[in-house]
Chain A
């Protein structure tokens, strides 16, 4: 050994350095070994972390040799390759080369199989953005299916990922059930045996999602996916999804299934009632679920009334410790109001303008209100500690009530609870069936008198329903009733009968913008039309003279028909 040779010395130093570095490297990256007893090892730090956070490739999902090969083949330039592929995918989509888009997207996910946002984005891209580019509804359905298939593939690479499973429920339920082509999509879904088989392979028992016709209903199958997502969320994080929205999916799917059964499929009576009862049960269960909030407290949506009662009772306890103090504080605050505000406060309600009333209620009301902390501060010294404890309790209750109220508003909890309850009543069931029959007769342009009769029975039933559940006025479904009222007016027009002055759902018309426009139009027509006595029950009025054959001709010339006809829902 020639220690004077600089090159030799350098090599020795390097070798020693390598040997020294091997120690921490081994500590970090030693793999875990399986075995029995002492033969078993948890491995180095990285292996331990992988086990702790379940990040090993085999734990994330299936191992795909093609994916691993492609990742290796990019020799560290995976980011560049992926960027290029994303650019190509956007370009293909721009040029409406959807075959190319599909192929490129499949290549992207091979390079980024565990990047969840990629699956989320591209599945949405295929299902929503690409499908609408096709004119034929069959082609649209095929592309919605592709998005769903794509996401199912994603669940192989990312096992039991709640967000992905939720998305699947959303696409099967909402995309198919809420699209403009929902009728066609739902029909195709019912008969799509290939898709059903694929779902069964993923552990979704499609047979449990049968509708009234013993075929899978898209909403109920969507609910099965939501349920699967909820089961996965028991041991995996839902990541950035809101728990409120996440757990809302399943119950809403059941409710939507019930609504679609009546609206799209024309099924009423006991079957519809049962479907709504299932929806109701799911909604109650959702309301009883403990939902974490961003404040760190958990709430239950069903609990608001109990919280309000508890709050009132606790306030009474606080007031008992300091009788009359609350009113005294209030009086002091009123007396301390500036002159203008005081004048407004003492002004009788009937003399106030709408703006003054708004200011008085929302601004002055809270200004003069005595807070619980103020009341607690004036409690006698010996009861002060107790008062403060009660005040703290009241503050927590207020916070919880506030969050519960907000979360309820987010998911329209009160409305759906009322709706589930109302839809199970005989009046609602009958009303829906009557509207359905009336609309069918109207569209077929036959038996217009029977159509009118059905409408009028429906209005009576709806009036009863709305009286019991006034919150149902303010909803999209109420909006659809206004459409039905418009059609009713059209039927009356065809049989030359005046629109009734004592119309049962006048309040509904006044509550919606479309209703107000309709009311104005009807009032105008009433004013200029000659007085025509409404037909007595049993008296036949002349039927429409239009021939169904002429109606077919009108369909063949949609340009002319579309120009002349009043705007329908489809044309908007």
Chain B
């Protein structure tokens, strides 16, 4: 995979791994699991919120009156409002919200989207080496931005406008509860957003598919007249959509793989008709660009040259997503352990796919990739057959290199001259598990690997379904933004609620930066220090050049602000966790565990925001 990704299974994400948690290392706190983390935060808020509410009530009404008000509201909410909740009334509010949204010309957002699609060709780089990725990223980004903008505007202004125009009084005089008002608006605005999202998704899909659709022409005279030493001849297709493909023909005049070489992230199948001078070629539609791989991942461990477990070598890359294993020795290897490997699941053998990185310490053979070796190993140390013979391969960087391993592997010759073979499932798989060991066999060259780089690819999901999953993520973000927008609008004015919602979105995307600054992962200081550095045009690592007491004051003020921001990042949703555009754009299926995580987070945040909105609305005198 060309993008950074860490696979976390659903229950691994949900449940705590306390052995990895260190109290003094904030970066390790993510190991406490979502269940424990969310429960802790919600419990804290459940105590903190009523306490703050009580303090405000004490200031307004005195201690006993204040306590009575708070207790009555909470008790009333649990014993009256919750059992008395009416879906019919909620639906009515939702219907009003939909009408309000249409009256507020929400369709303008859709019109802007259509305009963007019409003129996208002017702004998109049509000569890009991976047009599918750029087109898909563009449509997802454009949809995301417009839908979020629409959700913020709709949700933030609705209740404040009602309060300002006093129409809220006609609503609250009816037997309607605060919770129904809040939930009705959330459902209504979400429904409008959903319809718009659906239309945008359909238009985007058509835009992407039509935009990428093309073919080429291949003529017999496109091939070189002179063959190379192996007897192969190379040709090229016509230039269409700003690129052309190489085609390799073997000695007998057939296209070697029945396909063009991959270019710009795709290839075409070629059908040939006729013989000799009358031979013609028909180039099919583009393939391999709009896909959704469904990889089956294994667990990775690395061995150093001494054969000991290791984290791998850093060859000097700033990006530490991949570490490297050294080539040219027998022990240094990357080993993936795959589970649930059965002949029913993989009848043809192991459909391996690799995304290795290569680092050369010297040029070596420039015209060829660095050579590697795959060995299949039995996880059972007492097995009769411990491993397969090594299978050599030539590395290919920046492409998903398909390398299927046949079920039957040739290991020698029988006395009668027939091939002696081994069966992967019978000889090497133990209790559904098998190890795939990858080594670099060239001395002083390195392979770079991360866990998601090697996987089994038995089949692909449908691109359309994966595209829809990408839009599902956007929908979840929209619902969250709507919930928070409505929540802020219950106690803030329209513009301020909009600002607060934008801040919440911003914190969601950039909250990680605050944490990185606090833990010194990112240098440059907090807001005040950064501002001074910008004005003084200093870089992030030079001294501030101010008096020491002032410098200390700045640093401590920044730290205090960042601590508050960091705290908020644990309360507010991290919208980056809902971003699956990289999966869709790079052709990988949004795996079910990730969808599950997103749904869980969305439900928890939406419910929490709605409950908070209910109580905020209740505290206002307009809401009975």
Contact = CB atoms under 8 A, between A and B. Distances in A.
A184 B3 contact: no
Nearest to A555: B365
Contact of A135 (B318, B319, B370): B370
Interface stretch (B125-133, B210-218, B558-566, B591-599): B125-133
B367 A137 contact: yes
A103 B125 contact: yes
Given A559-B328, A562-B442, A562-B444, A135 B125 contact: no
Contacts of A69: 122
Interface string A112-138: 000000000000000000000011110
Given A103-B134, A558-B365, A135 B444 contact: no
B358 A135 contact: yes
Nearest to B242: A194
Given A95-B319, A194-B244, A135 B360 contact: yes
Contacts of A70: 123
Interface in B297-320: 318-319
A66 interface: yes
A97 interface: yes
Contacts of A97: 2-3
Contact of B362 (A106, A194, A555, A572): A572
Given A96-B319, A136-B397, A194-B244, A106 B125 contact: yes
Nearest to A561: B443
A250 B453 CA distance: 46
A135 B369 contact: yes
Interface in A257-279: none
A572 B363 CA distance: 8
A184 B2 CA distance: 26
Interface string B121-146: 01101011110011000000000000
Interface string B386-401: 0000000001111000
B208 to A, nearest CB: 15
Contact of B369 (A103, A136, A149, A570): A136
B4 interface: yes
A180 B364 contact: no
A65 B119 CA distance: 11
Interface string A65-85: 110011000000000000000
B396 to A, nearest CB: 7
Contacts of B128: 99, 102-103
A140 B362 CA distance: 16
Contact of A571 (B127, B364, B371, B398): B364
A139 B125 contact: no
A396 to B, nearest CB: 44
A94 interface: yes
A109 to B, nearest CB: 11
A95 B321 contact: yes
A123 to B, nearest CB: 15
Interface string A87-111: 0000000111111001100100010
Contact of A559 (B127, B239, B327): B327
B118 interface: no
A134 B129 CA distance: 14
Contact of B364 (A103, A106, A194, A562): A562
B398 A139 contact: yes
Contact of B442 (A96, A102, A184, A558): A558
B127 A136 contact: no
Chain A interface SS verdict (over half): helix
B129 A142 contact: yes
A11 interface: no
A490 interface: no
Interface in B1-16: 2-4
Interface in A170-220: 180-181, 184, 194
A184 B129 contact: no
B126 to A, nearest CB: 10
Interface in B321-377: 321, 327-328, 357-358, 360, 362-367, 369-371
A559 B441 contact: yes
Nearest to A64: B122
Contacts of A135: 358, 360, 369-370, 395-397
Interface in A27-79: 65-66, 69-70
A181 B366 CA distance: 7
A563 interface: yes
Interface in A536-572: 555, 558-559, 562-563, 570-572
A70 B441 CA distance: 50
Contacts of A99: 2, 128-130, 133-134
B397 A139 contact: yes
Contacts of B366: 137, 180-181, 184, 570
A570 B363 contact: yes
Contacts of A180: 363, 366
A146 B364 CA distance: 25
B539 to A, nearest CB: 14
B319 A94 contact: yes
Nearest to B133: A99
Interface in B165-187: none
A572 B360 CA distance: 12
B3 A570 contact: no
B9 to A, nearest CB: 24
In this complex, the member of A66, A136, A184, A555 whose beta carbon has the largest number of chain B beta carbons within 10 angstroms is A136
Nearest to B365: A558
B238 to A, nearest CB: 11
Interface string B413-452: 0000000000000000000000000000111100000000
A66 B123 contact: yes
B122 A562 contact: no
A135 B133 CA distance: 22
Interface of A: 65-66, 69-70, 94-99, 102-103, 106, 110, 134-137, 139, 142, 146, 149, 180-181, 184, 194, 555, 558-559, 562-563, 570-572
8 contacts: A69-B122, A134-B397, A136-B397, A142-B129, A558-B365, A559-B442, A562-B364, A562-B444
- Per CB-CB distance, the 6 closest pairs between chain A and chain B, nearest first, are A135-B397, A135-B358, A559-B443, A66-B122, A99-B130, A559-B328
Given A180-B363, A562-B364, 18 more contacts: A96-B398, A99-B2, A99-B129, A99-B134, A103-B134, A110-B123, A135-B369, A135-B395, A137-B366, A137-B367, A139-B397, A181-B366, A559-B327, A559-B441, A563-B328, A570-B362, A571-B362, A571-B364
Interface of B: 2-4, 122-123, 125, 127-130, 133-134, 239, 244, 318-319, 321, 327-328, 357-358, 360, 362-367, 369-371, 395-398, 441-444
